[in-house]
Amino acid sequence: MTKDWLRKIVGLILLVSFIALPWYSPFQIYLSIPNHIQTFSEADEIDIPVFGDSVSVYSNEEEKAAHATDLVKIPLNQSGNHELTYSVANFPVKKVDVSVYEDFRVIPGGQSIGINLQTNGVLVVGHHLVQTNDGEVSPGEQAEINVGDSILSINGQPVKKMEQVAPLVEEAGEKEESLDVEVKRGKETFQTNLKPVYDVEQKDYRIGLYIRDSAAGIGTMTFYDPKSKKYGALGHIISDMDTRKPVDIKDGSIVRSQIKEIKKGEHGIPGEKKAEFLFNDVKLGNITKNSPFGIFGTLSKPFNDNKWNKPMPIALPHQVKEGKAQILTVIDDEKVEAFDVKIVNSIEQDAPATKGLIIEITDERLLEATGGIVQGMSGSPIIQDDKIIGAVTHVFVNDPTSGYGVHIEWMLNEAGIDIYKQEENKAS
């Protein structure tokens, strides 16, 4: 009987300990210590949380000691692989691998750019009814072609422009034949038969579909890598204004643009930059990718010089702090200017995600000019402590002074730039 009670008491103690352990402050600190830290050699030191009442943190550089409520600064003056060891009463409790990479820099953007996209095939943006002798009908809808689908080919002939569609429709209509249409929906493609009908009002053959082969808009350049010539802009995916679906691009280009007017953002109504494309100018570069992290490609012509047109180091997500920062953007003509913002929140992301930052516009001149974050400002680089930390992406509709940002690491990764690839990374 005594043994049973003893087992129950021990079990109860273990259960209470198990439940209480996650709320125990030192245990929480222990869990907050990462297993692996990545940083750059330009960061003279990194903040390391400590654990225990009296803790020694060892690295191959030197030994430090501090109390549990402090942060220990570990000097990192050499690239390579380091190891930190946490010890309590001279007993090692946790090891942390630290990878220190050579300094990585890109040129910050801020310039307003005109964006021209050529879709992969022709994009279906709507259905319409065709008036026939037998009533109204939409052949496209009957063929189960949906809004947001792309028509890739008709009768085996690749379709790249809207102008290619009308002659094929006319020919099939006169022969009373169906068109063999290749359709792309998301990542899948399928074949369907589409039979044109005669429109008694328009006196022509119709397929009951509204289509488009291009898209255009403005945004802001985020960064340019002088070594690879790659760039990133916008910070979010481009979606068709009618279908609200991502534009599947085949080709595209960016050109210079001049801001001519700004519609201020208000509560519930987002503002926008109104710009003029400089089509007579040589295109700045191509567009090879339209992704949730922005548009990417290669620059063929550099931007005009400005005071920020010099390589600047980047900051990783765990290096971003809440507090003061700046964004680079254009509110008049082509002049890139810096405006004050506040980092309200930064999520220490270990994997790519689009919403890693919350920012608030604090610059009175920018608030007066735009009301906050407006359309066309997406992609504006965010600078903190002379480092590029991310880009503006979305505005809060109910509060135009605030919005989301994306961490720069994920945009660089999406551009195909490996910031961790070093020519030499020897263990120190």
The residues carrying an active-site annotation are: 236, 363, 378
Let me know how many helices (H) and strands (E) the chain has, helices first.
6, 31
Distance CA 294, CA 238 (A): 7
Q: What are the DSSP calls for 209-230, one per residue?
A: EEEEEEEEEEEEEEEE-TTT-E
**In 3-state terms, what secondary structure has residue 198?**
strand
What are the phi and psi torsion angles at 397 (to 5°)? -60, -40
Radius of gyration for the alpha carbons in the chain, expressed in angstroms and rounded? 29
**Strand, helix or coil at 89?**
coil
Cα 90 → chain centroid:
45
Q: How far apart are CA 311 and CA 259, in angstroms?
A: 25
Bridge partners, residue 313, by sequence: 105
CA distance 391 to 405: 5
DSSP state for residue 254 in the 8-state scheme: E
Which residue type is seen at 42? E
Q: How far is CA 392 from CA 56, 206, 231, 277, 357, in A?
A: 40, 43, 16, 22, 9
CA–CA gap between residue 110 and residue 126 (Å, rounded): 35
Distances in whole angstroms, Cα of residue 46 to Cα of each of 1, 105, 320, 324: 57, 19, 12, 19
